[in-house]
Amino acid sequence: MRQRDKTPYALLGMLTLGPQSGYEIKKTLEASAAHFWSESYGQLYPVLRRLEAEGLASSRRQDKGGRLRKVFAITGAGREALGRWLQRPPEFQPPRNELLLKLFFGRHAPAGSGREHVLAYRAQQADLTRHYRELETRLLREHPRHPDLPYWRMTLRFGRRFAEAAIAWCDETLALLAREAAEKDNDNLGGSG
Amino acid sequence: MRQRDKTPYALLGMLTLGPQSGYEIKKTLEASAAHFWSESYGQLYPVLRRLEAEGLASSRRQDKGGRLRKVFAITGAGREALGRWLQRPPEFQPPRNELLLKLFFGRHAPAGSGREHVLAYRAQQADLTRHYRELETRLLREHPRHPDLPYWRMTLRFGRRFAEAAIAWCDETLALLAREAAEKDNDNLGGSG
DNA sequence: TTTGGCATGTAATCCGTTACATGATTAG
DNA sequence: CTAATCATGTAACGGATTACATGCCAAA
């Protein structure tokens, strides 16, 4: 298996929660880890096939209410491979933040567009904090003794802290943008008056 | 120009700082925006060529101390294209955080590996906060009246706030991991005794 | 003299998304 | 009836990195 390709490990990890179909894996991912990981079908299905070919997962066809499903399970070799990967230090990935890039060039942007972007981002992050809080509450209620719970919570906490930091930053930034806009207005008045 | 490809705009934006060679653009990017944007040469040079073909940038060969450089400048059409892009709302990009993924599956990881990853991340973020602070100080000292300064500061503040949030999260997480490790030890003692 | 930085580019490859294609079942 | 959801996959494309290839200049 390649070094840089993390999708196989993400899928193996998902299979530690129990045997699942590709479709289910995606749903589970979206419901629990969307804020830090995602996979597309175009990636997911071929990789599952590969995992099976390499003996890291096994599959059996299942008939569920007339629908055909292909349910995958992690194998012993799969668990070992996952464990080895979990031990390796995470690779640093160069971030790309389009909002910051647009702000960085803010002086050359149409008036008010920076403010709009930041407002939209703030709203999105506020929604997210609510979402994280709900998720955490539901998790504690529905799986209070699940052995994975502490780990799931850590990732949720990460999301919450970052969303809160983002909101604070938005407020600070909106104030700075307002000041810039005011100074620009002043310059214009001074220049013409 | 394509919709999704942001590299051209990043390069046009860099050219608003003045005419530069591809090599210089990369250096500038690394010195000022590394925490939210990066480009590789394999991407940068072909895109510069494309920008010129589309009339958004112009170039002239320059002989600097015997070395041949190809210096690019943004054109009027380039400024317009940049302005239009700056106005469009930033696209949401699904994040991928390998550290969180590894933590999420932490129960299946070799003992202590989660802790190590978090410690390494914490150290990295602590370095970063120092770096941001220095950069901001230097910026204020060296370019106190630069019209782009307020915008550059906003992105720096983002970096600092996020690094600080990351450190707080690390400390919280390290405590939770320690508790998990302790409980695991207890279980083992109870099971064998 | 040899290492590091300046400087430009191409080719191979990979990873990932999007669009396409298909079809059954279930809930409204 | 029909829209949504379950379910699996492939093909095309695009964006980005990495490795490769080259060569000059300055400083140690």
List the nucleotides on chain D closer than 7 A to a protein CB.
6-12, 14-20, 23-26
| A151 to B6: CB separation less than 8 angstroms, yes or no | no
Q: How much helix, strand and coil, in percent to the nearest 5, is found in chain B?
A: 65, 10, 25
What pLDDT is attached to residue A159? 98
Residues of chain B positioned with their CB less than 8 A from the CB of A100: 33, 36-37, 155, 158
- The DSSP 8-state label assigned to residue B148 in this structure reads T
> Count of CB atoms within 10 A of residue B124's CB?
14
What pTM does this model have?
0.95
Identity (one letter) of the amino acid at B123?
Answer: A
> Is the minimum distance from the CB of B5 to strand D below 7 Å?
yes
| B104 to A158: CB separation less than 8 angstroms, yes or no | no
The contacts of residue A48 (CB under 8 Å, 6+ apart) are A11, A22, A25, A57, A59, A72
Identity (one letter) of the amino acid at B155?
Answer: T
What pLDDT is attached to residue B127? 96
Q: Find, among B189, B184, B134, the residue nearest to B160 by Cα.
A: B134
Burial of A72 (C-beta count, 10 Å sphere; 0-12/13-18/19+) = buried
Shortest CB distance from A168 goes to which of B109, B161, B169? B161
Residue B102 token pair: 């590894």
| Average pLDDT, integer, range B112-134 | 97
Rounded-to-integer distance, Cα B64 and Cα B95, Å: 42
What pLDDT is attached to residue B76? 98
Strands (E), chain A: 20-21, 57-64, 67-74
What rounded mean pLDDT belongs to chain A? 94
The contacts of residue A62 (CB under 8 Å, 6+ apart) are A21, A68, A69, A70, A71
CA of A52 to C1' of D18 (A): 29
What pLDDT is attached to residue A173? 98
Q: What's the Cα-to-Cα distance from B187 to each of A16, A119, A168, B181, rounded to whole Å? A: 21, 49, 42, 10
> Count of CB atoms within 10 A of residue B156's CB?
22
Identity (one letter) of the amino acid at A127?
Answer: D
Q: How far is B67 from chain A (nearest CA, A)?
A: 30
For C9, nearest residue by CA–C1' is B45
| Average pLDDT, integer, range B31-58 | 97
Residues of chain A with pLDDT under 50: 193
CA of B113 to C1' of C14 (A): 28
Residue B97 token pair: 């955080």
Cβ–Cβ < 8 Å for B166, B125: yes
Shortest CB distance from B87 goes to which of A9, A110, A166? A110
> Count of CB atoms within 10 A of residue A111's CB?
11
